[in-house]
Structure formats: C-alpha cells, structure tokens
C-alpha cells in the first residue's frame, strides 16, 4: 500500500505552469474565495538535493506539487484566538469565585 499525500497534483516546473497557478490564484481572489493554491518545488535536478524540511529552490526543481491552502482567513484566526482567550478568562474568574466560596465554607 502506498502512502497518501496532501498535494493535489504535480506539474512540470515551467514558467507557463507557474503562471497558470498564479492566474488561478488571482481568479480565486477576485471571486473572494477562501482557497489558494500553494506551490512546493519537487524532484531535484541532477547535482541538487532537497534542503532542510524537504525544500528546493525553484531553479533547482524539475517539477512542483500543488497544494490547496485556505478554509480560513486571518480574521477567522484572530476571532478564534479572541474567543479562546475570552473563554479562558471566564474559566479563570469562575475558578477564583469557586475557590473563594470553598474558603468561606471550610474556614467559617
């Protein structure tokens, strides 16, 4: 059984193919899409090898893999963090109140 990967597909590393992905991204942005294609360069040219974390420079790659990024935007992340922090603060305040009540019950 072969491993499953997160990329959508591979394309030959040419200016034409990179421009195609760029055009798709521009079109998706124009239509207010939350999705974006991301390129990771793959298949090192002869004499080159993958760098740290499996990265390659564009000029050293024979092809690239296309990934789909998105499903959220910066505002969603900020709101999520804000809601998480608000919930944390509420829990902390409630815990303090419960501890004060316990002190009153056990020390009087």
Co-location of 40 and 11 in the same domain:
yes
Same domain, 15 and 66: yes
Residue 6 confidence (pLDDT): 79
Number of structural domains in the chain: 2
Question: 4 and 34: one domain?
Answer: yes
What is the spatial distance between Cα 70 and Cα 33, in angstroms, rounded to a whole number? 9
Residues 86 and 108 in one domain: yes
Beta bridge partners of 35: 70
* Cα–Cα dist 49/5, whole Å: 20
Strands, E assignment, the chain: 9-12, 35-44, 61-70
- Same domain for 46 and 10, yes or no, is yes
Give, for all 108 residues of the chain, the pLDDT tens digit.
Answer: 566 777 899 999 999 999 999 999 999 989 988 888 999 999 999 999 888 878 899 999 999 999 988 765 566 666 666 777 777 788 888 888 888 887 888 765
Same domain, 24 and 58: yes
């Amino acid at each position: 059984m072969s491993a499953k990967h997160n990329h959508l597909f591979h394309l030959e590393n040419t200016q034409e193919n990179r421009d195609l992905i760029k055009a798709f991204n521009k079109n998706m942005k124009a239509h207010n899409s939350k999705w974006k294609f991301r390129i990771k360069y793959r298949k090192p040219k002869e004499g080159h090898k993958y760098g740290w974390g499996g990265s390659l420079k564009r000029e050293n790659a024979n092809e690239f893999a296309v990934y789909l990024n998105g499903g959220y935007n910066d505002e969603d992340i900020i709101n999520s963090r804000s809601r998480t922090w608000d919930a944390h603060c509420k829990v902390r305040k409630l815990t303090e109140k419960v501890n004060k009540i316990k002190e009153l019950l056990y020390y009087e």
